[in-house]
Amino acid sequence: MIFNRLFEESISKNWDFPAFTNYHKETLTYGEVGKKILLLHAILKGRSIKPGEKIALIGPNSANWAIVYLATITYGAVIVPILSDFHDDDIQHILNHSESRVLFTTEAGAAKIDEERMDKLKTVVSLNTLELLSYKERQLPEKIQKIEDKEKEKIARVSSKSFMLPPDRGESDLAALVYTSGTSGFSKGVMLPYRSLMANINYVQEIIPLDTAKQSLSFLPLAHAYASSFDLLFPFSIGCHITFLEQIPAPKILIEAFAEVRPGLIFFVPLILEKIYKKKLAPILNRNSIKALLKIPLLRRLIYNKIRRKMYETFGGNFKEIVIGGAALNAEVEDFLKKIKLPIATGYGMTECGPLLTYAPWQEQRSRSAGRAITPVELKIDSGDQIRQAGEIMVRGKNIMLGYYKNTEATREVLDEDGWLRTGDLGVVDSDGFLYIMGRSKSMILGPSGQNIYPEEIESKLNVMGYVQESLVLLEGDRLIALVYPDWNAVDAEKGENGDNEIWLREVMEEIRTEVNTRLPAYSRIAEIRLHGDAFEKTPTQKIKRYRYS
């Protein structure tokens, strides 16, 4: 089934069922969403926006954000979702670079845009109300207003049986222009065709039955390819009721939302699970009394069952699987969740692939692996022996991008003539096709004796230690240095907010360094831990932007 027909069928079939809810606010049915999509089509047509032209979208997760996204790509225009946490100058650059004709944003966002510096931008529309905020001609021509009023009358009479979206564009036509916020430098415009979006939707539909995901909770930033594909396009295509949180909230509010929404499928980034493990579970499991009980098989099983039930309740008690993406899950956390048999699956992908590349259901998942290549993807390792020797992961398939917008040089660096995309990640594949990711090729450190050192592996061991919030391992001369941002809540709970903690904390960090080094080979041991005053700057999937600190 092709793109517009898929969403046309979902809207018609689920016409009277709830589609979108803004958390603790209004709910729209599939029919109401469908009519709003048609209204936006009329608005775009009235402003002479042609298929293939760019529509920019900036703002927090909401029903209107989702409607603008769906309306744009079903109209045949190109959606340009922009992350709200981009700097104002970067947003201005992206609007110009993408040649966006229309911008949907909040009133506060519109106030930051200097329209005089916009080459192509014609119209600014409120994301909150879908009403005009700015128009370069300042007054809507009477002709356009009459067209819109006439279209509104027609749309009001549309029913589930008469609802129809425009004809589909070609599968290789551009659907989305996504500016990445990566770990290694300024964003590039990733050109995703309709076939890329459809390849991701079709694969997830095949492996996740409809009745497992009737409720969905969207809290990851929708401007990122991971969330737009799996928190919006996939659940909407199968008739889910999607509840939107404006952003990743405090853990307490997120847990309350899980309890209310009770989602059937949960898409996470690792940081959330790791925080829950570190704050709630690790202190209990490290008690001497609990350690003693866990040595007795029957009691161990009872304790693990109790923890599993508690975690089910924490996440709403209705989910069939938690899918982790965006970064690797900490090894210690993964091992424990497997012991208690919580249904955790991991996937691997990148914006350039729309985004999914590998996945395995939780029952098949192997420790430390990122799953196997999904149906439309060919995967190989650029090394002499891809099973024993790490090399760059290369992929090709229907979901691969067209290239980087207006950047042929960067496109040639990663995409060859045969359609193989260099991911920039290092990995190995076992004899059964499971992928194991070692780290980014750009972050790999060559040790003094020629050994490959993957800082992510060292950081995962540091990050589960008490008093460590997050860490970053760097090479300084021939020594490995770990920058550590402390867990100040844990420090204050131990020593008090008003005490002089620096000397004590340095002593603790030295103990942590010694402990972690016992778990590392000699060539990758940490020479020094330095305290870092602020949280590290991160991408939307909570990966540290390493280039800021090298």
Q: What's the pLDDT score for residue 139?
A: 52
pLDDT digits (tens, 9 = 90+) for 191-209: 999 999 999 999 999 887 6
For residue 183, what pLDDT band results from cuts at 50, 70 and 90? Answer: very low
Q: What's the pLDDT score for residue 440?
A: 74
Does the structure show a pLDDT above 90 at 550? Answer: no
Mean pLDDT over 211-215 rounds to 72
Long-range pairs, 271-275, Cβ under 8 A, ≥24: 271/327, 271/542, 272/248, 273/322, 273/324, 273/329, 273/333, 273/337, 273/344, 274/329, 274/330, 274/333, 274/463, 274/464, 275/251
Identical fold, 3-244 and 445-548: no
Q: What's the pLDDT score for residue 66?
A: 98
CA distance 427 to 437: 4
pLDDT digits (tens, 9 = 90+) for 472-528: 999 887 789 999 999 888 888 777 655 567 788 989 999 999 999 998 888 889 999
Does the structure show a pLDDT above 60 at 105? Answer: yes
pLDDT digits (tens, 9 = 90+) for 237-284: 999 999 999 877 777 888 899 999 999 989 988 877 887 887 778 888
**Taking a C-beta distance cutoff of 8 angstroms, is the pair 3, 198 a contact?**
yes
CA distance 124 to 228: 22
3-state secondary structure of 112: coil
Q: What percent of the chain has pLDDT over 70?
A: 92
pLDDT digits (tens, 9 = 90+) for 299-340: 999 999 999 999 999 999 999 899 988 777 888 889 999 999
Q: Map out the domains of the chain as residue ranges.
A: 3-244, 269-317+320-395+427-440, 445-548
Give the number of other CB atoms < 10 A from CB of residue 112: 12
**Taking a C-beta distance cutoff of 8 angstroms, is the pair 295, 283 a contact?**
no
3-state secondary structure 347-402: EEECHHHCCEEEECCCCCCCCCCCCEECCCEEEEEECCCCCCCCEEEEEEECCCCC
pLDDT digits (tens, 9 = 90+) for 54-76: 999 999 999 999 999 999 999 99
pLDDT digits (tens, 9 = 90+) for 330-387: 888 899 999 999 999 989 999 999 999 999 999 998 998 999 999 889 999 987 666 6
Distance from the first to the final alpha carbon of the chain:
47
- Stated pTM of the model: 0.83
Pick the CATH number of 3-244 from 3.40.50.12780, 3.40.50.300, 1.10.1270.20, 1.20.1250.20: 3.40.50.12780
For residue 184, what pLDDT band results from cuts at 50, 70 and 90? Answer: very low
* Paired tokens of 230: 């799996």
CA distance 189 to 178: 5
Preceding amide of 81 cis, omega within 30: no
3-state secondary structure of 505: helix
pLDDT digits (tens, 9 = 90+) for 282-301: 888 888 899 899 999 999 99
Q: What's the pLDDT score for residue 448?
A: 58
Residue predicted with more confidence, 453 or 261 = 261
Q: What percent of the chain has pLDDT over 90?
A: 56
Q: What's the pLDDT score for residue 180?
A: 81
Mean pLDDT (the chain, rounded): 88
Q: What's the pLDDT score for residue 101?
A: 94
Q: What's the pLDDT score for residue 447?
A: 66
H-state helical runs in 415-520? 455-463, 488-495, 502-517
Q: Which CATH architecture fits 445-548?
A: 2-Layer Sandwich (3.30)
* Paired tokens of 235: 């659940």
Strands 356-359 and 372-373: antiparallel
Query: In angstroms, what CA-CA distances link 262 with 19, 44, 163, 447?
Result: 15, 37, 30, 48
Does the structure show a pLDDT above 60 at 449? Answer: no
Does the structure show a pLDDT above 60 at 406? Answer: yes
Q: What's the pLDDT score for residue 212?
A: 56
Phi, psi (rounded to 5 degrees) for 496? 90, 150
**Taking a C-beta distance cutoff of 8 angstroms, is the pair 203, 375 a contact?**
yes
Burial (0-12, 13-18, 19+ Cβ within 10 Å), 329: buried
Query: In angstroms, what CA-CA distances link 463 with 271, 274, 335, 513?
Result: 10, 9, 15, 12
Burial (0-12, 13-18, 19+ Cβ within 10 Å), 55: buried
Q: What's the pLDDT score for residue 416?
A: 94
Q: What's the pLDDT score for residue 480?
A: 92
Helix (H) or strand (E) holding 427: strand 421-429
- Residue corresponding to tokens 């992350």: 83
CA distance 126 to 40: 12
Buried b vs exposed e over 297-320: b needs ≥16 C-beta within 10 Å?
A: eeeeeebbeebbeebeeebbebbb
Does the structure show a pLDDT above 50 at 114? Answer: yes
